[in-house]
Amino acid sequence: MTKNTNENFRKLRSEYYSNGVGAGSNRVVDSAKGALLYDVEGNEYIDFYGGIGTMNVGHCHPKVVKAIQDQAAKLTHSCFQVNAYPVALTLAERLCSLTPGTFDKKAVFFNSGAEAVENTVKIARYNTKRSGVVVFENGYHGRTLLTMTMTSKVKPFKFGFGPFAPEVYRMPFGDKVGASALNDFFIKHVNPEDIAAVVVEPVQGEGGFIAPPPDYFQELVKICRDNGILFVSDEIQSGMGRTGKMFAIEHWGVEPDLVAVGKSLAAGIPLTAVVGRAELLDAVHTGGLGGTYNGNPVACAAAHAVLDIFETEGMLEKSIALGEKIRSKFEKWQKEFTKVGEVRGIGAMSGFELVKGPDMQPDADAAQQLVNYCQDNGAIVLSCGIYGHVIRCLAPFVITDEQLEKGLSIIENGLAKICK
């Protein structure tokens, strides 16, 4: 029997678990509650990463736990495409009314964010009879062959895994490049009539918490509409209230044709969805979409509980309040510490750059030092960004003021140390 120490389980991990999977922290977690994590030695950590954005309603929320238990005792699996079940159908109904867009919508469930995004491409290709997909620099969409191809960062995501899927075109993104660059792109790189979909994260996650300017998506959507291209919002990380609206694209007031939803949808139970224009989802021939585990009943029950919690426990308000608190702290640090560069993102999906100095060169080593310092002092934070130099916040919205203060002071002490 392995003795409960982080070191022993690390050894077990290195002996039996693939090295191909990264290790953001060297702790081994045993349990979690709200915004707190406990390792196998009983040490407590304030959670600033929320299972990489899956725990917006907090770890082991009693309503989610109860919903999972009740559903597990009733029906754990039947394979939706053979026998459908109410909990998935009523969840589809709820998601269709939650996602942006005044048109008729339908939903379809998947198991991972990558699978959902990949299916947006399948649906777009089927409907448009075009094969091209436009994605963006710094974008992250997953690890399957197609979504890895759509992802921007080479190491670690793509290195050694080629050849990549064809017909994926990448354009620059964000505040330094307006959406009208897409017109130029269509002259230089690909004919718009060959493009099925533009797939974009409204606020880039892994790529460094980058939010484009206020008129960006209106312009981008117009270009898509003018050219018969479908507009797909990848809300896997930015959705479920993370930016203070249920879906981040709502900040721009545009209606995506398809939305990919995941991560916090079912509070950590694998469940993702594609929701969008009914006619697009219905056009695909019967049997063209699906999979053994898609829309698992236990996962759907967890998602219902999550949506109930949003309705009854003011999750969007909590997200907005969390966003205001962290941003004001990050902005304070920006003034105090020369190594803190741009403060990025929207609301509770905010982060800050670590830079070498006034030249604003990314400092990934400093980010790693800060991550390590926090871990050793009771907070788990993650870096992100194409250059690995952005510290991001994906803390559960239920984090208490006291936990937040404590966690932020750990980060602040770490900054003071690395800035000495």
Q: Smallest gap, in angstroms, from Cβ of residue 264 to ligand PLP?
A: 11
Q: Which two tokens stand for residue 196?
A: 């099925």
* Nearer to ligand PLP (CB atom), residue 140 or residue 217: 140
- Reported as half-sphere exposure (CB side, CA atoms, 13 A), residue 376 has a value of 8
Q: Smallest gap, in angstroms, from Cβ of residue 204 to ligand PLP?
A: 8
Strand partners, 244: none
Largest CA distance in the chain: 64
CB 216 within 8 A of CB 346: no
| Touching ligand PLP, residues 61-100 (CB under 6 A) | none
3-state helix, strand, coil in the chain (%, to 5): 40, 20, 40
Q: Which two tokens stand for residue 300?
A: 């759907």
- Contact residue for ligand PLP among 50, 51, 113, 351 (CB under 6 A): 113
Residue nearest to ligand PLP (CB): 113
388 binds ligand PLP (CB under 6 A): no
Q: Smallest gap, in angstroms, from Cβ of residue 271 to ligand PLP?
A: 10
Give the dihedral sign, CA 245/246/252/253: negative
* Nearer to ligand PLP (CB atom), residue 52 or residue 316: 52
- Contact residue for ligand PLP among 55, 114, 261, 300 (CB under 6 A): 114
Burial string for 225-260 (b: 16+ CB within 10 Å, else e) reads eeeebbbbbbbbbbbbbbbbbbbbbbbbebbbbbbb
User: In angstroms, rounded to a whole number, what is the distance separating the alpha carbons of residues 78 and 101?
Assistant: 31
- Contact residue for ligand PLP among 67, 121, 203, 236 (CB under 6 A): 236
* Nearer to ligand PLP (CB atom), residue 237 or residue 383: 237
Piece of the chain touching ligand PLP by CB under 6 A; list 42-50, 111-119, 184-192, 339-347: 111-119
Q: Smallest gap, in angstroms, from Cβ of residue 125 to ligand PLP?
A: 18
HEC profile for 291-320?
CCCCCCHHHHHHHHHHHHHHHHCCHHHHHH
* Nearer to ligand PLP (CB atom), residue 206 or residue 250: 206
Give the dihedral sign, CA 108/142/392/249: negative
- Contact residue for ligand PLP among 149, 237, 243, 403 (CB under 6 A): 237
Q: Smallest gap, in angstroms, from Cβ of residue 255 to ligand PLP?
A: 19
| Touching ligand PLP, residues 189-218 (CB under 6 A) | 201, 205-206
| Touching ligand PLP, residues 238-267 (CB under 6 A) | 262
Angle 232-142-283 from CA coordinates, rounded to 5°: 40
**Total site size for ligand PLP, rule CB under 6 A:** 15
CB 374 within 8 A of CB 410: yes
* Nearer to ligand PLP (CB atom), residue 67 or residue 384: 384
Which parts of this chain interact with ligand PLP (CB under 6 A)?
52, 112-114, 117, 140-142, 201, 205-206, 234, 236-237, 262
